[in-house]
Chains A and B, each alone.
Chain A
Amino acid sequence: MEPAGRRRRRRRRRGDGGARTVRSGLHPGLPALGSRGARLGLHGGCAPPAADNRLKTTKYTLLSFVPKNLFEQFHRLANVYFVLIALLNFAPAVNAFQPGLALAPVLFILAVTALKDLWEDYSRHRSDLAINHRGCLVFSREEKKYVHRFWKEIHVGDFVRLHCNEIIPADVLLLSSSDPDGLCHIETANLDGETNLKRRQVVRGFSELVSEFNPLTFTSIIECEKPNNDLSRFRGCIIHSNGEKAGLHKENLLLRGCTIRNTEAVVGIVIYAGHETKALLNNSGPRYKRSQLERQMNCDVLWCVLLLICMSLFSAVGHGLWVRRYQEKKALFDVPEADGSSLSPVTAAVYSFLTMIIVLQVLIPISLYVSIEIVKVCQVYFINQDLDLYDEETDSQLQCRALNITEDLGQIQYIFSDKTGTLTENKMVFRRCTVSGVEYSHDANAQRLARYQEADSEEEEVVPKRGSWSQRGSIGSHQGVRMMHRTQSTKSHRRTGSRAEAKRASMLSRHTAFSSPMEKDITPDPKLLEKVSECDKGLAISRHQEQPLAHLSPELSDIFDFFIALTICNTVVVTSPDQPRQKQVRVRFELKSPVKTIEDFLRRFTPSRLTSVCSSTGSLATNKSNHKSGSSLLSNLSNDSVFLKLEERLGQPAPSLASNGYSSQAESWASERKPEPGQEQELRYEAESPDEAALVYAARAYNCALVDRLPDQVSVELPHLGRLTFELLHTLGFDSIRKRMSVVIRHPLTDEINVYTKGADSVVMDLLLPCSSEDARGRHQKRIRSKTQSFLNLYAVEGLRTLCIAKRVLSKEEYACWLQGHLEAESSLDNREELLFQSALRLETNLHLLGATGIEDRLQDGVPETISKLRQAGLQIWVLTGDKQETAINIAHACKLLDHDEEIITLNAESQEACAALLEQCLQYVQSRGPHSTPKKTEGNVSVGFFPLCSAPPQSTARGPSLSLVIDGRSLAYALEKNLEDKFLFLAKQCRSVLCCRSTPLQKSMVVKLVRSKLKAMTLAIGDGANDVSMIQVADVGVGISGQEGMQAVMASDFAVPKFRYLERLLIVHGHWCYSRLANMVLYFFYKNTMFVGLLFWFQFYCGFSASAMIDQWYLIFFNLLFSSLPQLVTGVLDKDVSADTLLLEPQLYKSGQKMEEYRPRAFWLNMVDAAFQSLVCFFIPYMAYYDSDVDMFTWGTPITAIALLTFLLHLGIETKTWTWLNWVACGFSILLFLTVALIYNSACATCYPPSNPYWTMQTLLGDPVFYLICLITPVTALLPRLFFRALQGSLFPTQLQLGRQLAKKCRKTLQTPKERFAQGHLPQELKAELSQGGTGSPSESLSKDCALQTSQHLQQPPVCSPEASGEPSTVDTSVPLRENSPRGSPGSSIPGAAVSGECPGHLRRKSLSTSRAAPLQSLFSLPNFSSLGCVSSLSLVSGLGSVLRFSSSSLHVDKRDSEFLSSSPQPEQDLSGLQRQATGYV
């Protein structure tokens, strides 16, 4: 105990797993509390002290920086290697350089890294300091009041007082709140990103205090868990001085980092402080992953090491032989040892070996790692800065959380996606519902939703006109293309609503979560509205009668209950805009609720008289178990007398219940405060899940508005009934296992205890009260159920999320029985969750079905387009969702994951064996599948169905329709078993898309793991919710969507995107760039070092393998670091092999990264061979030029260095695809730097640099014409072959990427002519004429058209093709227009497509947007003569068709080759001829 006695904290370790005990820090001499206190004292001393609230995220202190940082840096093997080499250099026998000099590069690298670390640490320190010095009110014992203290001075056990909008400094147990209900609202945005307000409650026992909480009187002891990082869990109990014990849970805890909202002031006791707070425990810094490229690179580094050793060994042997040869011969140049003896050949060889390793160390690029890191940081910077990845709605851009796997983005093969919130917006819109077996289709609502879309498309029409053509022309072609791109991204907001709407929504979302007008303004179904108002009226009339609901027909009462359930069966909080929440003078019940104790219950339901304890046996059983586990609190209550009383009370008839003053009070209050309509509009609902909000808004549309929610009551406003206040007895929250939630309320009209349950249909339908088919009512019920089920199926097919609403009326006895168990569960300390779960299960049975709702989860913007693009890019997309199969399939169709002409294999197995059999069957089917295979079906619970939903003509593709696999969670569990996983994978590999429904988070991660480990594929997982976290963590690249579901996914992810559609650009553009840049840079690094080392190695043949170097040691050491590093960095950061537009237009270019085309072993070795060749050239040309001359070693070596530098730069020049001024500057800088350094170095000191002593060497060289002559010829000679082969390959066997570049260039060039024409207004007429004549255009136009067509064909699918928007069947794949020789392909209808395609290729996007329904392929079909121009080699098959139509089949081979290049859909020749026939028939 401190002498000052101000603060004290204790913790102890309990035998059963560890807990923490917190006591008030104000009472130093608190007497021991019986045995408990004694135990405390016993263990108190040996436990480590709890952390104070000081935040310290820095890694180093002033003293520890150097050793600690060095220690960390030496974790990198390369650093150790280089230091060892440098140290080796200190041994005189083997040293190659001046020892100090050899250390320089290593020290330089270490210093740079250390500086970076230091800077980072310093900024951390500064932010820590700022946070630590935030102020906060802490209760001081001396002053007996709250005083200002810094955050860092807060200790566990302190009392803090927080005000509205204040940030919580530590994890605080809420003890008092200014809110009359003992509530406090917090915003957890800092913690998990969720913007809705969370409710926190004062610890039970403190909420009753009337006067203000006085910390001095606090004598309780708090026992709670040890600090952990689980944000959603907190368990503990508070032991009052009188020995009473009350449970604590997460509702009582205010977490550090959250903000107090809506509450004036709260007081709490600090439980966890500083680094023990949950917020900080959750904060694990950026993740370190190693990318695939880096792994491959490390492998190649090992090759280099091997090469180095080989070279050194070779030299060593050579030197040994050389020494032996000259040893006896008394060669004048042979230098004996210091003692005059000559070295034995073996010793000489060993020395030579070591020296060679030092001299050739350059082969292992010391700067490689540093350069790669720099490049990656720059790449991340550029990704962050990309405007096209910026989401205006949420004002967020893409975040790169992992800095070192950018290039993995370019190599992804499999994408695993969550559905809800990832593919869909997670903005729930109420679409339709069924009540009591009657379906209300809400057509008006559907129209309203459609209107939102129309409004958007109208705006779209306007957008293109904004950019003025003349301006665009002046900007230049490149800019023009960019602008078009911007416009496209502007337009693609169509789903969310117009831009203005989106803005509005985003603004609103600052106050409330999940509320855009689209979700809020629901147009009610008139029929249903009528019925609702009917029962409202009926109830209003009969409200004072005994059984108000009995007067209604069962249907109407169901409807009434349905809406009541919609309104109150949730956790939606109502807020009004003014903050903090107004303290209303309102009628309060005597007691707080939900019912917390039996006494509560008894007091509420007094007077009571009855006999039996409990009627149902089930309840008895629970009673027993309760007694067993019984807490001390309950045990003294469970005496018979209490229950006697209870039963007495429950036995009373209803009327007397009604007279307990409750409903009348509520009523009077309701009439007092009739809210004006304007204010009602101000109500905002804050829901934990968007579904809930959607339902509450839907109910409001039916005039059943939730107006207030307090912990103990819910108020509902009805037009005629006025405000109804339901007493909220319990809320059984939603969990993913039960898949439902319930509220227990007391109905104000009937005074019955009702349970309203809302949950997944599959669960709720099983919990319904079994109804006998005997009586009419039962039969009626059954009919209703079957009808509801069929509607549910219908909803699912429509892709709606379904929820069932059910009700249960509890008798008082049943309730009492259940309540006892429940209370016990609530107050239990150990496995409270488990007991509560059981308790909920007991309550939610024998339900009465009210109805079901269908909520639409709208697809996000651009999801189908993105998916089709990603597909084209060769990515396999698997969707893993927890949704039901039908919903999932439907969404999959909507987002084009499944095509309608695809065969879907559905795997639903009930058992392991069934699953195995099914898999076997499917595999056989897949293998035997040919064009003639027919779908087959098996029956029984082993149901495998192949649904050729829209079977395409078998001749359209060689392999028949592609396959898709749909598997449900249970089957997936079987399929993931060890013995089946291979088969499953094999099957899945055959399928174009895989859909896993009803899968758990664990299964999701298992699937990812399976694919990753078995297929050795690069995987990407994308998701938005906590259930995706495991999957995101397992995948090579995890992407989180910073959407509506909080930040857990983002926290776990490597990249966070605002929307799914940004994935397209992230992968296809940035991923490709990052990969290609890094791959090229790494290759270049290896080339550079090998070539440089080669020079030294060849020299060994002419210096007796003595490990001599003709290149001055300074150049040798700094060459990599200084002279040649900048240009490659610039290229590594800025080079774009293909422009972003081309990449987006031709996603298949992405495949080059997947196949690792740029950096594969072959490329590496070719590179090495080229390096060897170049070094031979660079060595032997100077050798020959200076052969038998009076040149000295370094006057000869310096030109070689210069030559090497020039060769490197030229080589880089050949490899650089885009030359910006930065590249030029970097290259110029390199040369200048070399010259400057050389000149300065060679004139600085005449005797300082032994042994080379290069005084005036460079100056002399600059006066020597031979120097210039060899500097000219050598690099050219060295690079001629490379240039030649590049050109040859570029012409004869161009890769996809080169084709893309050529295409882009051609299109850009041809842009000029037609645009001028267009400006003159000639083109349209010409085009028309052309069309009417059947097409004879001038070359220039056709060329441009051709480009346009090409690009459109490369698109293959129209970019905007929303399933709802386009009524006609989407003509997306190449086969469609060919198949149907329809009248739609007539010249007339093709004019829009043709006209636009003729406009100018730069405006392709606009074309494809404005004519998204004009099916570009059809228009193409009618213009066969335009298609075979220019960029023939990159034409897709369909464009090749054009020439086929006109000409003999001799050009067929060209087309075949083209299709090979495309590699997307190889089609057989017979197809072509068939199509040709069709087409010629048409022409």
Chain B
Amino acid sequence: MAMNCNPKDEVDGGPPCAPGGAAKTRRPDNTAFKQQRLPAWQPILTAGTVLPTFFIVGLIFIPIGIGIFVTSNNIREIEIDYTGTEPSSPCNKCLSSNVTPCVCTINFTLEKAFEGNVFMYYGLSNFYQNHRRYVKSRDDSQLNGDPRALVNPSKECEPYRRNEDLPIAPCGAIANSMFNDTLELFLITNDSDPTPKPILLQRKGIAWWTDKHVKFRNPPGEGTLEERFKGTTKPVNWPKPVYMLDSEDDNNGFINEDLIVWMRTAALPTFRKLYRLIERTDDLHPTLPAGQYYLNITYNYPVHSFDGRKRMILSTISWMGGKNPFLGIAYITVGSISFLLGVVLLVINHKYRNSSNTADTMAF
């Protein structure tokens, strides 16, 4: 009880009952955090303080931009539209789809040789691979080789889930709409030699490694692919089933790289997808020497109906990927603008400081 220490307090007048006294008080701790006195950097945004930032941004961005721009410009790229909407186009005949398969040939010339590995893309425009319902329309489990999903695909695949009571493999709209033109490239070595030299196009190595080896798997089991895909049917639009996409087994079925590439839905309605790889053969000769080429197209894929376009693109790459003039220009532009703004701020700062400085100096 409080009684026992009361008398003493009366004598010495000390704080009652609590010898420390301080321990009992409600006095807040005097710490930097609690008193909101943490050491802090307090930038003040004025012309004077900010203008170095602008100059620094300018000074960093402009060189980067120039670097990127130069790199991008060194990339060789050629693009050939073979949609065939123009009457003059050789592929115009294929628009009316009474001829199947329709083959058309387009000639083109490479002004300069393409060094290094050359990538062959097909490009589509106005193709909304990013449409919400389109994007969803796939079954990753099925593509991953899950036997259950193989025979019972996800509901997301509707209406391309079953065909005549058989599950579709691969199911869904994405797979169903897979690009199925065949492109071949021939080099006309010289005008005198009529026999064109076919360019070797690699079908493998065009997909992400993880896609090919982790995400996409053929159904497990012994036997041929055909047996493993037993009980499924091909997508409606496909001419042949999934196990007949390629002749080689490690590029067939779900792990067919064309399929894998196609299944990676493009972000924007204008996109390109890697079609083939033209590997550099030796250091002495350019991969694609300058000269006349012709492109042999087996025209299957109908884009004309929805105003789409089809292109074939040949491109070399640099450390930063394909040709992309935008980034370089953007860096240069932003850098210049930043520099300019910096100058503006400098002027303002100078003027402002002047007006205040005059008062200062004149005071003496």
Q: Residues on A close to B: CB < 8 A?
A: 92, 96, 165, 326, 329-340, 355, 382, 384-387, 390, 392, 395-397, 478, 482, 504, 507, 510, 577, 1102-1104, 1106-1108, 1110, 1134, 1136, 1140, 1181, 1183-1193, 1195-1197, 1214, 1217-1222, 1246-1247, 1250-1251, 1253, 1255-1256, 1260, 1264-1266, 1269-1270, 1272-1273, 1276-1277, 1280, 1283-1284, 1286-1288, 1290-1292, 1294, 1298, 1301-1302, 1305, 1336-1337, 1339, 1342, 1425-1430, 1432-1433, 1442-1443, 1446-1447, 1451, 1454
Contact = CB atoms under 8 A, between A and B. Distances in A.
A355 B158 CA distance: 19
B128 A331 contact: yes
Interface string B16-59: 10000000011111100011111111111111111101100100
B194 interface: no
Contact of A1277 (B303, B307, B334): B334
14 contacts: A332-B177, A385-B28, A1103-B128, A1136-B36, A1136-B40, A1193-B266, A1193-B267, A1246-B210, A1251-B135, A1280-B338, A1286-B50, A1298-B46, A1433-B356, A1443-B362
B75 interface: no
A1287 B40 contact: no
Contact of A1446 (B144, B327, B362): B362
B359 A1443 contact: yes
A-B interface, 8 closest residue pairs, ranked by CB to CB distance from nearest: A1196-B267, A1287-B50, A331-B306, A1291-B47, A332-B177, A1108-B132, A338-B158, A1218-B40
B138 A1190 contact: no
A330 to B, nearest CB: 5
Contact of A1265 (B131, B214, B319): B319
Contacts of A1183: 268
Contacts of B308: 331
Contacts of B273: 1190
Contacts of A1190: 121, 261, 266, 271-274, 322
B306 A395 contact: no
Given A390-B28, A1291-B349, A1134 B36 contact: yes
A1256 B210 contact: yes
A1134 B42 CA distance: 12
Contacts of A1286: 45, 50
Interface residues on chain B, size class: 35 or more
A681 to B, nearest CB: 13
A203 B34 CA distance: 53
Contact of A331 (B140, B274, B305): B305
A75 to B, nearest CB: 34
Interface string B341-361: 100010011001001100110
Interface string B149-161: 0000011101100
Nearest to B321: A1266
A1255 B210 contact: yes
A234 B16 CA distance: 36
A1276 B131 contact: no
A1134 B49 CA distance: 23
Nearest to B328: A1269
A1253 B334 contact: no
A1294 B348 CA distance: 13
A337 B137 CA distance: 11
A1264 B155 CA distance: 35
A1447 B362 contact: yes
A1106 B131 contact: yes
Contacts of B307: 329
Interface string B253-283: 0000000010011111111111000000000
A1218 B41 contact: yes
B337 interface: yes
Contact of A387 (B27, B214, B268, B326): B27
Contacts of B303: 332
Nearest to B39: A1220
Contacts of B271: 1188-1191
A1276 B334 contact: yes
Contacts, number: 318
A338 B159 contact: yes
Contact of A1220 (B40, B49, B173): B40
A1451 B27 contact: no
Interface string B126-144: 0111111111111111011
A1290 B131 contact: no
B320 A1432 contact: no
B44 A1247 contact: no
A382 B36 contact: yes
A385 to B, nearest CB: 4
A1336 B306 contact: no
A1337 B268 CA distance: 69
Nearest to A338: B158
A1218 B41 CA distance: 6
Given A1184-B326, A1193-B265, A1107 B27 contact: no
A1290 B47 contact: yes
Contact of A385 (B34, B54, B156): B34
Contacts of B177: 332-333
A1110 B338 contact: no
B284 interface: no
A329 B308 CA distance: 11
A1291 B48 CA distance: 8
Given A1102-B130, A1188-B268, A1425-B363, 12 more contacts: A92-B155, A332-B237, A1190-B272, A1191-B268, A1193-B135, A1220-B41, A1222-B38, A1247-B141, A1269-B327, A1287-B50, A1287-B345, A1290-B44
B173 A333 contact: yes
B169 to A, nearest CB: 15
A1432 B264 CA distance: 63
A1389 to B, nearest CB: 23
A1251 B362 CA distance: 72
Chain B CB within 10 A, most for which of A1269, A1301, A1433: A1269
A1336 B364 contact: yes
B302 interface: yes
Contacts of A1280: 54, 57, 334, 337-338, 341
Contact of A1288 (B37, B345, B360): B345
A1280 B339 CA distance: 11
Nearest to B214: A1246
B46 A1287 contact: yes
Contacts of B338: 1276, 1280
Contacts of B272: 1188-1190
Contact of B42 (A331, A1217, A1288, A1428): A1217
B94 interface: no
A1292 B134 contact: no
B21 to A, nearest CB: 10
B331 interface: yes
B324 interface: yes
Nearest to A1073: B36
B13 A1273 contact: no
A1446 B363 contact: yes
